[in-house]
């Protein structure tokens, strides 16, 4: 499968970098199977960082092969387990088993108010899941270890905009 990473620079050699902000699946290198999502993210990153250009880097990833040697956790949908996992990572309190790769829906600008209200106790889990259900969420593949990154093969980078 082809995965994409949107940034303000070409990324030939991905790295797991600690982030100054809490991410859905923890610190890692994030990709998606949606080139459109990666383009949007690249444009946002170039604008936020005020440097570079919107660039989408593409990678080959063999999920079946990687599954034989890596710990891969997959969320098929934004369900209760996903909500708890994302909330724990965004709070910085995830204490479950470590994973090499986590795959699942991306929390976007439309879902973050729901997740923030859930984390603040403004709404309960049932209400949060009802509000998340109609969202058409794009996938994300978070590579959380160097072992996982060795399963990505850089293909090319494209400049957008």
Cα separation, 155 vs 137, whole angstroms: 25
pTM for the full predicted model: 0.92
Q: What is the pLDDT of residues 23-44, one digit of tens each?
A: 889 999 999 999 999 999 999 8
pLDDT higher than 70, residue 52: yes
What is the count of structural domains for the chain? 1
Nearest residue to 78 (alpha-carbon basis) of 13, 26, 130? 130
Write out pLDDT tens, residues 117-160.
999 999 999 999 999 887 778 899 999 999 999 999 999 999 98
State phi, psi for 55 to the nearest 5 degrees.
-130, 135
Q: Are 111 and 77 in contact (CB under 8 A)?
A: no
3-state secondary structure of 53: coil
At 22, is the pLDDT very low, low, confident or very high (cuts 50, 70, 90)?
confident
| Boundaries of domain holding 86 | 2-159
Beta strands in the chain (DSSP E): 2-7, 29-31, 55-61, 72-74, 101-105, 139-143, 152-159
pLDDT of 20 = 66
Is residue 105 within 8 Å of 64, Cβ to Cβ? no
């Amino acid at each position: 499968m082809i995965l994409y990473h949107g940034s303000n620079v070409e990324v030939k050699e991905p790295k797991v970098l600690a982030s100054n902000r809490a991410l859905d699946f923890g610190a890692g290198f994030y990709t998606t199977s949606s080139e459109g999502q990666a383009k949007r993210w690249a444009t946002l990153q170039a604008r936020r960082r005020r440097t570079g250009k919107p660039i989408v880097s593409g990678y080959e990833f063999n999920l079946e092969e990687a599954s034989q040697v890596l710990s891969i956790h997959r969320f098929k949908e934004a369900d209760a387990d996903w909500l708890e996992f994302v909330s724990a990572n965004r709070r910085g309190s995830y204490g479950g088993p470590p994973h090499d790769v986590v795959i699942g829906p991306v929390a976007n600008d439309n879902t973050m108010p729901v997740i923030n209200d859930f984390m603040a106790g403004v709404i309960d889990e049932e209400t949060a899941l009802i509000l998340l259900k109609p969202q058409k969420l794009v996938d994300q593949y978070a590579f959380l270890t160097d072992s996982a990154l060795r399963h990505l093969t850089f293909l090319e980078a494209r400049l957008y905009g």
